[in-house]
């Protein structure tokens, strides 16, 4: 058993804030030079200022996303029926079964969402093949390789890790990731998507097996650079995939092969395992977990997915499982990083915190926040926000070509 996700037993979020030491700021302690108090002159964003705020009513939301979210009933917080049946006493087997059921619903939604764009036919032709390699435990790992049909010298390489854990553990056959990989490859890069073992679909997917698969794939690709005709390797992932690429960089340093990774690009990383923390601690350390709770992503139920990945309490703050907990020494000397975050994503704060840690450790790292966007919007809602999608693709490509 494990501690349940935090349960709210009050109707007024402000009362909860006032009762905690971290929330003791009042109008008497902070004000403007003109005497305007924070209490009357400022409303905290999202659910920090209005506990029952919905993403569809948050004035920061991109109007195009409001339209598509409303069309699919995602403009209000809702819990998929399978997840609502989970309790603090649910076994790992039940948690996995319920999350798998919810995943099928979300994947079905993403398959139904239109994601084609008018310029797609103008992109470079991309060829696809699959290769199977052997992992550290003699397990099979499928590599899905996308290459632009061009002649010339070695190309940049993106080792891509699909997401999961926050909304759904998308499979590699989902059109969201197929389109993402093709869009990246059309920028003149070789994209290798790793079919790693994930805890939601495979019994052997618990930590550290998925991480080991990413590391094995990285070492394999590096040793076959000539055959693959690539000149560098950039690890890229989103959500739980971002967790794995960030952790792989830390593990590579620990194990002495960090020279095989030229850069890391993480989008909306799920890296804290803080989803079961008290509200007071969330408010103090990672406030977006409260501010954006229920904005497409339900933080309470991310706690179940996190527990599925690291059921042993000893791994709950292991930096290789949850990179948010890495210290300065563990981060020093890592390759260049980029963190891309979404403003209305519960995971935003942990991405911001990790970027600050990287910079403080001397890592060449930059980050940006996409304003008005929910978790994973540049991938999932490609047709609704095409400019955002194109900007994300160009950002990854520019980084891979310069490191």
**Mean pLDDT, the chain, integer:** 90
Q: Which residue has the tokens 């055959």?
A: 227
Which tokens sit at 180? 């993402």
Tens-place pLDDT, residues 210-259:
999 999 999 999 999 999 999 999 999 999 999 999 999 999 999 999 99
Per-residue pLDDT at 108 = 83
Nearest to 151 by CA among 229, 255, 265: 229
Residue 149 has pLDDT above 80, yes or no: yes
DSSP letter for 231, please.
S
Distance CA 257, CA 277 (A): 34
Residues 6+ apart with CB under 8 A from 214: 159, 161, 194, 196, 235, 244, 245, 248
Residue 266 has pLDDT above 70, yes or no: yes
Per-residue pLDDT at 333 = 98
Question: Which whole-number Å values give the CA distances from 54 to 100, 117, 148, in the listed order?
Answer: 26, 29, 42
Residue 168 has pLDDT above 70, yes or no: no
Beta bridge partners of 264: 235, 337
Peptide bond into 260 cis (omega under 30): no
Question: Which whole-number Å values give the CA distances from 45 to 59, 268, 271, 279, 343, in the listed order?
Answer: 10, 19, 23, 16, 11
Most confident of the following: 82-86, 87-91, 124-128, 167-171: 124-128
Residue 274 has pLDDT above 70, yes or no: yes
Q: Alpha helix (H) ranges present in 138-278?
A: 175-185, 209-223, 225-228, 240-255
Per-residue pLDDT at 166 = 54
Tens-place pLDDT, residues 79-104:
888 888 998 899 999 998 998 888 88
Q: Which residue has the tokens 């966007």?
A: 373
Distance CA 134, CA 136 (A): 7
Residues 6+ apart with CB under 8 A from 360: 328
Sign (positive or negative) of CA dihedral 180, 183, 189, 192: positive
Sheet of 234-238: strand order equals: 126-134, 140-148, 190-195, 157-161, 234-238, 263-267, 337-342, 365-370
Residues 6+ apart with CB under 8 A from 10: 16
Residues 6+ apart with CB under 8 A from 232: 156, 157, 262, 263, 400, 403
């Amino acid at each position: 058993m494990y501690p349940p996700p935090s349960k709210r037993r009050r109707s007024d979020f402000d009362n909860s804030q006032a009762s905690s030491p971290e929330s003791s700021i009042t109008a008497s302690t902070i004000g403007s030079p003109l005497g305007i108090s924070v209490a009357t002159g400022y409303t905290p964003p999202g659910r920090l200022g209005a506990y029952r705020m919905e993403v569809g009513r948050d004035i920061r939301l991109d109007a195009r996303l409001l339209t598509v979210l409303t069309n699919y009933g995602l403009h209000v917080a809702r819990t998929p029926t399978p997840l609502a049946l989970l309790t603090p006493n649910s076994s790992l087997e039940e948690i996995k079964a319920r999350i798998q059921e919810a995943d099928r619903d979300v994947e079905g939604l993403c398959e139904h969402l239109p994601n084609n764009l008018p310029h797609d036919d103008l992109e470079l032709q991309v060829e696809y093949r699959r290769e199977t390699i052997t992992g550290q435990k003699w397990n099979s790992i499928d590599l899905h390789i996308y290459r632009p049909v061009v002649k010339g010298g070695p190309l940049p390489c993106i080792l891509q890790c699909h997401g999961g854990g926050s909304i759904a553990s998308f499979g590699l056959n989902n059109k969201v990731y197929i389109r993402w990989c093709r869009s990246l490859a059309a920028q003149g890069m070789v994209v290798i998507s790793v079919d790693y073992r994930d805890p939601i679909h495979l019994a052997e997917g618990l930590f550290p097996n998925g991480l080991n698969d990413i590391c094995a794939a990285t070492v394999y690709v590096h040793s076959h650079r000539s055959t693959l005709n690539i000149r560098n390797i950039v690890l890229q992932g989103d959500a739980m995939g971002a967790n794995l690429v960030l952790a792989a960089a830390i593990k590579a340093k620990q194990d002495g092969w960090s020279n095989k990774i030229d850069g890391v690009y993480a989008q909306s990383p799920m890296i804290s395992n803080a989803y079961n923390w008290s509200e007071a601690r969330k408010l103090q350390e990672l406030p977006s977990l409260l501010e954006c709770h229920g904005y497409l992503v339900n933080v309470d139920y991310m706690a179940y997915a996190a527990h599925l990945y690291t059921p042993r309490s000893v791994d709950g703050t292991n930096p290789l499982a949850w990179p948010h907990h890495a210290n300065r020494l563990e981060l020093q000397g890592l390759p260049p990083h980029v963190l891309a975050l979404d403003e209305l994503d519960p995971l935003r704060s942990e991405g911001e915190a990790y970027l600050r840690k990287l910079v403080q450790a001397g890592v060449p790292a930059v980050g940006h926040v996409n304003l008005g966007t929910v978790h994973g919007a540049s991938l999932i809602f490609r047709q609704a926000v095409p400019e955002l999608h194109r900007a994300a693709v160009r950002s990854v490509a520019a980084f891979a070509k310069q490191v």
